[in-house]
Structure 1
Amino acid sequence: MLINYLKTTLRNLLRNKTNSFINIFGLSLGITCSLVLFLLVTFLLSYDQYHDNYERIYRIVNASNDQHGNRVFGNGVPPPMPDAVRADIPGIDKLVFISNKYGNNLIGVESKELNEWEYFEEDEGVAYTESNYFGIFTRPLLQGNFSALDEPNKVILSEKLAWKYFGDVNVMGRDITLDKKETLQVAGIMEDVPRNSDFPFEMLISYATIKNAYEKHGWGSVSSDDQIYLLLEGSTSVEHVNNNLQAFKEKQYPDDNNELTYFLQPLKDLHFDKRFNNYRYSTVSHGNILTMALVAFFIIATACINFINISTAVAVKRSKEVGVRKVLGSSRGQLIKQFLGETFLIVVLAIVVSLGLAELLLIYLNPFLEIDMAIKWLNDGKIELFLLSTLIIVTIMAGLYPSIVMAKLKPAVIIKNKWANMKTSGLSLRKMLVAFQFIITPFFIIGTLVLIAQMKFLRESDMGFKTDAIIVMKVPDSEVLKKKALKSSIERLSGVRNVSLASTTPLSGSISVTDIELDNDEKEYYMDVKWADENYLDMYDIGLIAGEGLHAVDTMNRVVVNEEFLKLAGISDPQEAIGRMVHIWHTDVPITGVVQNFYSRNMRVKLEPLMLVNGLGKARTISVKLTGQNLHQQLEDIKKEWHQVYPEYAFDYKFADDVVASMYDSEEEMATVFTFFSCIAILIGCLGLFGLVSFTTNQKVKEIGIRKALGASVQNILSLVSRDFITPVMIGFIIAAPLGWYLMDLWLQNYQYKINLGAGIFLIALAATFTIAIVTTGYKSLKAASANPVDSLRDE
């Protein structure tokens, strides 16, 4: 019996090649997308779950009020805080302080073969920490002892860095240098960090190396690079520690006027809470993860609806087979089993195809998203469960209804060839299914249009500065004389229009914030701060609206503020601000200039008050404006000057345009992924509509023949066929439009500056929906309308 069913299935697949291809291809696409999105969701949810004490690990974070009265959140702590927390707060099993050392870390390694020093740059993955790091987090050591991190000048390397620096992992006791200042002894080799971790450290340096000097910064120095993690004792509650942290805060900051609060954040929230950042500088909201899961569900549901529509559309061709089987004694249950079995085999084939397509898709998706997903279906219980569940659920969803429709046909009606002319109750259900599909299709169209429009708005908005023909290089944390020497040598090159040293570009992910007082009125203002030289305003074409800019001095002797600060301070005329004194960092300096507002952060947040100050010691970038002519030669000339000043550092540059664009990398990635899967969902939806038209034309084949014989035109026939899909498409759009508006408006709330969801987007979506519907159904409808009526009426 099983062999007979298998032969029947293969025969029917070969007999109806087009419909078989559409069924298998549609299901394969649906399962592929669902599988990839399942992998993506499970990968994101797996961040840091490999730690043995995952449920007991927390980070100390904080919240306070800004000058607008808004609640702002942070994760940085002052350097003296770790020891103070250890002393004052009970119930903590272990506590570790981590200080991330980001950017331009020059690692020197003595080569025994060449008898000289080799240098490597590490922009990330370097941190100072303590031995408790290994007592809290799971990071197995291959060699050495983690207690070495309690001694100064010790370092533990990952296996990857050991091979990179020494070509071997047996390097215990070898020395490396950091920035040509500190000599560190290798005291251990640890396993490489997994990709699904927010602690991407490949080099851990003992905090004891810098502790004494670092703690001199005091309680007023807070950086997001400096964070505290702790492991709670089993009997200690989070509420208990939070209460103690509040008492701790009152002790350390008795004069606090900003309602500062310290509290614990669970490790499980580290990758998903956008209020706080992490050491990978990447967070994904639970809302985005839910969106991906819903997209996966809608895609697979759409594929199943396609199968139902197309299967019932071709049921006419199999009606006599059903009649013969019933005459020969097949029961309704046996027929249902047969057709479900056929669906089962088709789904198995679709899953096999989808595994290959998913592997192909991951080749491009992994590097694009900078993640590491793989289909380990032979030893991954989650993927095996997903595939098994998909097989069962899709078989039932896609196969049960067509099986019941065909199994309930009456032999007498079938044998007399009257079934094709019958009105079936299933037609209304099919219209409902297509309407459901066309809720999904316009929703994806609306979502894609909003994403594209918002990204275009972010890219093309006036940021308050210009980046044309500017390249940016990170400069090492070296003495000021070297930075000035590099600047001077580049200024002398032909084709160079301007050169500027500064802490960051105007728009940057690196934010420095400090509090100031104006004219010693004791009211604190929180300001974004950028250190810059005298060329900075001209370099980026930042408008000076009052006073003058910065001067060519190495130390702070004046400040330039933006319009937002004047608004906050209640100063209506920019000229009134000139000459007023600012108390900052225990000294008083005058305001000498006011500049127009420019975005120093991305457009997710509102403009903040900002000031520019002298201080080349804080310069971390050098910007060079070029003529744009003979660019390759100009870059080569700059490279030569770079290596004259910094021979150990690689010459690496970015265009300022790209630096600005990188601020929205996560949005670009989301838009690209969403657009891709939206296109797949729309394609699958088109297949479903094609199935409905196939069913309709088969159902009305004799009616169409009679109408044509009586003189109906092709336009009349097209109108007849179109009535069966125009209504469900319209109903689907009417439901999808408010749903799309609500969800996309919710997403846009993440931005302080955003597009308006006007009628234009929805009119475009409506036009696109009907265009897709008309193009999809046009071929089949036109073929039916153009058919010779003799062919359909020959047997009457």
Structure 2
Amino acid sequence: MSSNAPPKLPLKIFRFYCSEERLEELEGDLFEVYNEFIQEQGTRFAKLFYLWIVIRSFRSFALKRTKMKNSKINNSLTILKHNLIIAWRNLTKHKATTAINVLGLTIGIGAFLAIVRIVQFELSFNTEIPEKENVYRIYTSFTGSFTATNKGVAVPIGPYVEQNFSGIDAVAYFHTYSAAVEVPDGEETNKDFGRQSQLVIADSSYFQVVGQYKWLAGNPSTALSDPFKVVLTDEQAKTYFGHESWLDIVGKKIIYRDSLNLFVSGIVKQPDYNTDFVFTDIISFPTIKNSWLKDRFDSDQWGNTNSSSQLFVKLEPNVNRADILMQLEDLDKHVQEQTGDTDWFQHYELLPLDKLHFNTDISTFDNGRDAAHLPTLLVLGVVAFAILLIAIFNFINLETAQSTTKSKEVGVRKVLGSPKRQLIGRFLTESMLISFFAVLLAVPLAHYGFIYFDEFIPDGVSMDFSDPIFWAFLGGLVVIVGFIAGIYPSLVISSYRPAIVLKSSRSAKGLGGSFIRKALILLQFLFSQLLIVGTIAVVWQISFMLDKDLGFKEDGVIYFYTPYYESYNKQKLITDEIETMPEVLDISIQNTPPVQNGYSTSTVKYDSPQGEVVTNAHRKAGDTTYLRFYDIELLAGRNLIPNDTLPELLINETFMKDLGFDDPRSAVGTTIEFNDENHTVVGILEDFHFRSLHHPIEPMLYLYEDKASCIALKVKTGDQLQSTINKLTDKWAEVYPDNPLKVYFMDETIERFYETEKKTSKLASTATGIAIFISCLGLFGLISHTIVQKSKEMGIRKVMGASILQIGSILSKEFILLILFAFIISTPIAYYFISKWLEDFAYQTNISWWIYVLGGLASMFIALASIVVKVWKASEANPIESLRYE
């Protein structure tokens, strides 16, 4: 082409719309037109004309391309509409099969939704806290004469870390606290808000480390710098002062525990995401030294570790965690020098913030949310997917079994020219439609499941219908479940050869993949039997723990605590009042009942002939009625005698053995060092369980103390119990009008030890029921289809004199063999996981072999019941109907 050729750049636009050959033709045409125009009109007009040609051509091609696209879209929509209509007709035609499919998937998806929501909720804690990857908790572990962990640290540890550690961006040492709260209402009275348990005493460094708060009022740098200041979260500020403006609330007074007057210095917004830092009142740290709080929190004892004393650090970016661990080892040595203890040692450990919510050994905070057990969440996740898979397997089984009813449709469609991908789309549309209805019904099922299981669903778990991500997840679930459940049956059905399936004389037997169906049935009952045996084992262990003799009598025992800061004379007054109540059979004063959630231990030394014995013993104290009240047996020696000059104590049998004695009588009179003072062992107690059966019995000692705060009563049970508590409440109100009575039941305290196991049992029972129900639905559908396929065979056998039992055995033989095979596979798997679970308990029930057999028999009985119902109904049919020529 000459230099007068039109520019080539605009022609590149057409490459998207036409081929290279057409592009060359277009370029040549434009070139000719362009040269002619130059000769007649001049270069300027030729270029304008050329531009007009380009625009018109581009518009023409664009319109053509758009019409092609619209045609394809319209064609796709037409096919989709056609597939939906055919799918709907097919579903309504086979109502029983549709109901089984939808019901099975609904239950499976509903259970999956509920469990996944719980797991997702627990896993979401602390994940959105800014710079969480640099935040760590420092906690204490103990070795030596005893081994333990504590979520807290000694009070001097925080300032030491702040002053001596390198690589630390900020240090937050604070104290968790709870107290009764009152707010003046301007009318010489105070609004009482009861005991608030989410209080914390901290300085401004707390907000630097835990960067989850947004300030709404107040100065972050000075809000906690002065004593008698408090920062509130927005929700707590509304609780105390209503919906006043934030600036109006700043400066107002709040009274903590009757006499601690604090003034609001700031308001922060509590984040809307899940976090373990749910403190509502942040009290300024200088308040400790300037108030009576110093008696509780201002300690210089390096060896005094309290769980309320917390220490968190925020590392500088790119700091190596190993460097901090080395500095913690130096801290261990420094603390050892300060305490001078050689029998036991304190070590300081680092816990990443992202593991705070899952460390069940030390938990989160005092009065905080319970730590989630990560292995349990993993098991829940596996159970959720197992239930969903069982539901999907059930769907696949039924669809492949029903494939013969669709074979002629496939044959006709293929003869008329339908490609395989169109046939797959036709049957996937049907499975997607079933999945849609199942998900739609599963949402309310999961929602009401949360209500039914409310007692062990974590606080805050719910179906968030306002969250668009939730609906996106449901949409994805419809597609994924519909595709997974429908792809195999669709591939099977669309693969039929029309020449075969259109022969009316050709039996459809063998079409639809019988091997796959058998494998899926096997998996269904494998999961079901694992759940059945697992549930039996959990229930068995819980019953064992609740029924086991603990070594003391807990029947009819209630207890309560008197305020520790009140005068002992008030306690004496209330006990005198109680002793006049005829409903009270016995009374005992003690520091704690035999079993409780917490515990107190001390180091004890004994000079034996073989050398010094140092051990750690649990401490209990109370008056001399303790043994009689709980019916604890004395193996040797005598009970304690009130004595201030000659300290005495009782020890349990385990403690005696740790000291090196085999005979209880020989241990009586032994002198041991306790609290830097010699004590005489005057009696040996028979071992009793003072902790849950997760733990073995450990050394324990009992001291005399007549001014302990716990009062235990043995009362008449039955209908009189509530009236006794009401009368007790009235007498309590006369002595302690400002402190509500909180009564504890001994049997409930023991049961609370096993809350996790009870929740697991209920969940496992429900999961087992769901799995069995879905499996039986599938089995019911499959046996129905089998009966239809073998209707002529059944008719012939009935005519020839076969009994119902013989016909039933023929129809159910295949399923029974599959269930037996599932039992053989599931037994060793169940044995392994049950054994691993029982390792968490020091005292275990005996899981006998017959429990595994019982699980298999239960699964077989349930399956047979499903089969028998359908076989019986089929056997009652008239054989003439089934033998009639079609």
Fold match by TM threshold 0.5: yes
* Aligned mates of 2:884, 2:202 — CA distance in 1: 87
Higher RCO structure, 1 or 2 (CA under 8 Å, sep 6+): 1
Please name the residue that 1:753 is paired with. Answer: 843
Match of 1:374 in 2: 462
Q: Percent identity?
A: 31
Matched, 1:149 2:224: yes
For 1:621, the equivalent position in structure 2 comes to: 710
The answer as to 2:417 corresponding to 1:329 is yes
TM-superposed deviation, 1:419? 4.7
Q: For 1:178, give the aligned amino acid.
A: Y
Which residue is equivalent to 2:65?
none
CA contact (8 A) 2:400 2:517 kept: no
**Which residue matches 2:355?**
269
Matched, 1:56 2:142: no
List gaps (5 residues or longer) in structure 1: none
User: CA, structure 1 residues 142+558, in 2 after alignment: closer, same or farther (shift >3 Å)?
Assistant: farther
Identify the residue that residue 177 of structure 1 maps to in structure 2: 255
Q: CA deviation at 1:616?
A: 5.3
Deviation of 1:739 after TM superposition, in Å, equals 0.9
CA-to-aligned-CA distance 1:303-358 (integer Å, 9 cap, x gap): 11111122223333333333333333333332221011111111112111112222
Note closer, same or farther for the CA distance 1:329–1:398 as it changes in structure 2 (3 Å cut): same
Aligned to 1:285: 373
| Superimposed CA distance per residue, residues 476-522 of structure 1 (whole angstroms, 9 cap, x where no aligned partner) | 22233322322222122222122223332211111112212235975
Q: Aligned runs of 1:552-701 on 2, under 5 Å?
A: 557-615=647-705, 619-628=708-717, 630-701=720-791
Q: What is residue 70 of structure 2 aligned with on the other side?
A: none
Equivalent residue, structure 1, for 2:606: 518
How far is the alpha carbon of 1:166 from its aligned partner? 4.1
CA distance in 2: counterparts of 1:371 and 1:18, whole angstroms: 40
Per-residue CA deviations over 1:278-316 (Å, capped at 9, x if unaligned) read: 213623332212111111111111111111122223333
In the alignment, which residue of structure 1 is the partner of 2:47?
none
Alpha carbons of 1:418 and 1:312: their partners in 2 closer, same or farther (altered >3 Å)?
farther
Using a 3 Å threshold, how does the CA distance of structure 1 residues 221 and 638 change in structure 2: closer, same or farther? same
| 2:180 alignment counterpart | 106
Amino acid at match of 1:8: I
In structure 2, the CA distance between the partners of 1:398 and 1:48, relative to structure 1 (3 Å rule), is: same
Task: State the alpha-carbon separation in 2 of the partners of residues 537 and 160 from structure 1.
Answer: 49
Query: One-letter code of the match for 1:436?
Result: L
Counterpart of 2:109?
Answer: 31
Give the stretch that moved more between structures: 258-267 or 116-125.
116-125
Give the alignment partner of residue 796 of structure 2, picking from 700, 706, 722. Answer: 706
Match of 1:451 in 2: 538
Q: What is the identity, as a one-letter code, of the residue corresponding to 2:183?
A: V
Separation of aligned partners in 2, 1:616 and 1:98: 34
The 5 Å alignment of 1:280-359 reads: 280=368, 282-359=370-447
Inter-partner Cα distance in structure 2 for 1:599 and 1:321: 71
Q: Which digits, 9 at most, give the CA deviation of each residue in 1:232-287, with x for residues without a partner? A: 11132211111111111112204545464322111111222233222136233322
Letter in 2 for 1:220: G
**Counterpart Cα distance in 2 of 1:168 and 1:647:** 31
Report the CA distance shift for 1:141/1:296 in structure 2 as closer, same or farther (over 3 A): same
Give unpaired runs (5+ residues) of structure 2.
Answer: 1-78
Name the CA distance, whole Å, in 1 between partners of 2:724 and 2:349: 52
Give the stretch that moved more between structures: 289-298 or 553-562.
Answer: 553-562
- Cα pair distance change 1:131/1:527, threshold 3 Å: farther
Aligned pair 1:127/2:200, yes or no?
A: yes
- Partner in structure 2 of residue 94 of structure 1: 170
2:76 aligned residue: none
Is contact 1:504-1:510 (8 Å) kept?
A: no
Instruction: Identify which of 435, 442, 464 aligns with 2:529.
Output: 442
SS in 1 for 2:779: helix
Contact 2:118-2:457 at 8 Å conserved across structures: no
The answer for the alignment partner of 2:5 in structure 1 is none
Asked whether the equivalents of residues 556 and 615 of structure 1 are also in contact (C-alpha less than 8 Å), the reply is: no
The 3-state SS of whatever aligns with 1:323 is helix
Structure 1 residues 623 and 118: CA distance shift in structure 2, 3 A: farther
**Aligned counterparts of 2:346 and 2:550: Cα–Cα separation in 1:** 32
Secondary structure of the structure 2 residue equivalent to 1:486: helix
Matches within 5 A, 1:427-576: 427-478=514-565, 479-518=567-606, 523-551=613-641, 557-576=647-666
Verify the 8 A CA contact 1:176 1:184 in the aligned structure 2.
yes
| 2:132–2:354 Cα contact (<8 Å) kept | yes
Give 1:460's aligned amino acid.
Answer: D
The residue type paired with residue 106 of structure 1 is A
Task: Identify the residue that residue 246 of structure 1 maps to in structure 2.
Answer: 329
Deviations, residues 7-42 of structure 1 (Å, cap 9, x unaligned): 211211211111111111111111111111111111
Offset of residue 649 of structure 1: 1.1
For residues 126-165 of structure 1, what are the alpha-carbon distances to aligned partners after superposition, in whole Å with 9 as ceiling and x for unaligned?
Answer: 3333322211111334333454434333333344444444
Are residues 5 and 785 of structure 1, via their aligned partners in 2, closer, same or farther at CA, if it must alter by over 3 Å? same
The question of 1:406 aligning with 2:482 is answered no
Contact 1:366 1:372 in 2 (8 A): no
Q: Is the 8 A contact 1:507 1:660 kept in 2?
A: yes
Do the aligned partners of 1:96 and 1:230 also contact (CA within 8 Å) in 2? Answer: yes
1:408 positional shift: 2.6
> Structure 1 331/195 Cα, relative in aligned 2: closer, same or farther at 3 Å?
closer
1:380, 1:568 → 2: CA distance? 62
What is the rounded CA distance, in whole Å, between the counterparts of 1:728 and 1:540 in structure 2?
A: 55
Closer/same/farther in 2, CA of residues 167 and 518 from structure 1, 3 Å limit: farther
In structure 2, relative to structure 1, the CA distance for the partners of 1:108 and 1:436 (3 Å cut) is same
Question: For 2:635 and 2:281, how far apart are their aligned partners in 1?
Answer: 47
Q: TM-score, normalised by structure 2?
A: 0.84
Q: Which residue identity is paired with 1:668?
A: K
Deviations 1:602-639 (A, max 9, x none): 1112212112223456x443222112363333222211
CA contact under 8 A between 2:251 and 2:263: conserved in structure 1? yes
SS of the residue aligned with 1:277? coil
Change in CA separation of 1:591 and 1:485 when aligned onto 2, cut-off 3 Å: farther
| Structure 1 residue 378, shift from structure 2 partner | 5.6
Describe the shift of the 1:758–1:585 C-alpha distance in structure 2 as closer, same or farther (beyond 3 A).
same
Q: Secondary structure at the match of 1:594?
A: strand
Cα distance in 2, alignment partners of residues 6 and 79 from structure 1? 70
Q: CA deviation at 1:97?
A: 1.8
- Tell me the equivalent position of 2:92: 14
1:780 corresponds in structure 2 to 870
Amino acid paired to 1:131: S
CA contact (8 A) 1:369 1:669 kept: no
